[in-house]
Amino acid sequence: MLLLAFTLVASPPPVVAPAPLPARWGRVGHRVVARVAAARLSDRARREVRTLLGGQTLAEISTWADEVRNDRPETSTWHYVNIPVTDSVYRADKYCPASGCVISALEQQLALLRDRRQPHAVRAEALKWVVHLVGDMHQPLHSGDRGDRGGNDVTVWLGLRRTNLHSLWDSGLIGASGRDEQQLVNHIEQQLRGRTDLAAIARGTPAEWTMEAHDLSRDVAYANLSWWLVITDSYQQAAWPVIEEQLQRAAARLAAILETI
């Protein structure tokens, strides 16, 4: 179904100027979540979104928060929260800095989006943040950490390409799936249509959703790594259902949030 085939060896491949992996999670992962969520909205909610965004779609603005990071350095910590995989409880005072984290940032932006007394531009920007941050918090390595900046400091090999564990979950595994954006949208939509637990999925808080993803980093993203840090077929086969599930949860929850607001 998925995955790149390669031969396992006893040690990492030689360093031979490997090509970088494309940054696909930022584009494909966020756009998939936004597109699937948009398709689940009522006509009224769609009109509200269109009015706030000046005709732009949720998919079109889904990566805006990444695009402005260089111009808005004060928001750099909003995309993640580093919670050790050995901890099973979110402690805001311990893990969420004063500058904010993905949980506090989403809560803040949701409050702005709900407040119809806010200027149109403020609510429009809040909507862009909400769409993006809901996606971010469902990526397991945006919350799970082993003292390595959520896997950014862990070099791994996908075939002959060298990357890091965080980027692997951001982009590499989606890129290796063989599905383009439309195929992935179709697949996630089909999976959601067959679920009977969507109401239960939509419940919860940003902190609970983040800890859910955090536990997946502990149980899958880190746990299945081989000591030689080559991403094996078995690693990918264990990871892919997690990615699919997280895309489903993110889309269903984003749709429920926007429908309620």
Please report whether residue 158 resides in a domain: yes
Whether residue 149 has pLDDT greater than 60: yes
Prediction pTM value? 0.89
Task: Label residues 55-84 b or e (16+ Cβ within 10 Å = b).
Answer: eeebbebbbbbbeeeeeeeeeebbbbbbbe
Please report whether residue 252 resides in a domain: yes
Whether residue 20 has pLDDT greater than 80: no
Would you state the pLDDT for residue 26? 59
Please report whether residue 2 resides in a domain: no
Cβ-proximal residues to 219 (8 Å cutoff; 6+ apart), any chain: none
Please report whether residue 6 resides in a domain: no
Please report whether residue 34 resides in a domain: yes
Q: Which residue segment(s) compose the domain that 146 sits in?
A: 24-260
Q: List Cα–Cα distances, 257 to 152, 173, 177, 202, 204, in angstroms.
A: 30, 28, 29, 8, 11
Distance (Å, whole) CA 33 – CA 254: 8
- State the angle between helix axes of 233-260 and 43-52 in degrees (0 to 180), rounded to the nearest 10: 90
Please report whether residue 11 resides in a domain: no
Whether residue 18 has pLDDT greater than 50: no
Mean pLDDT, the chain, integer: 90
Give all strands (DSSP E) within the chain, no chain letters.
83-84, 144-145, 155-158, 161-164
Nearest to 102 by CA among 71, 140, 68, 67: 140
Would you state the pLDDT for residue 27? 82
The token pair that represents 206 in the structure block:
């940003």
Please report whether residue 7 resides in a domain: no
CATH number (domain holding residue 204): 1.10.575.10
145 forms bridges with which residues in the sheet? Answer: 84
- Residue 3 pLDDT level (bands cut at 50, 70, 90): very low
Task: Tell me which DSSP letter residue 22 carries.
Answer: P
Nearest to 82 by CA among 149, 134, 153: 149
157 forms bridges with which residues in the sheet? Answer: 162, 230
Please report whether residue 3 resides in a domain: no
Tens-digit pLDDT profile for residues 89-137? 999 999 999 999 999 999 999 999 999 999 999 999 999 999 999 999 9
Count: domains in the chain: 1
- pLDDT above 70 covers a percentage of the chain that reads 90
Per the model's pLDDT, the better-predicted residue between 26 and 77 turns out to be: 77
Helices (H) and strands (E) in the chain, counts: 14, 4
Mean pLDDT of 176-203: 95
Would you state the pLDDT for residue 23? 37
Tens-digit pLDDT profile for residues 153-188? 999 999 989 999 999 999 899 999 889 999 999 999
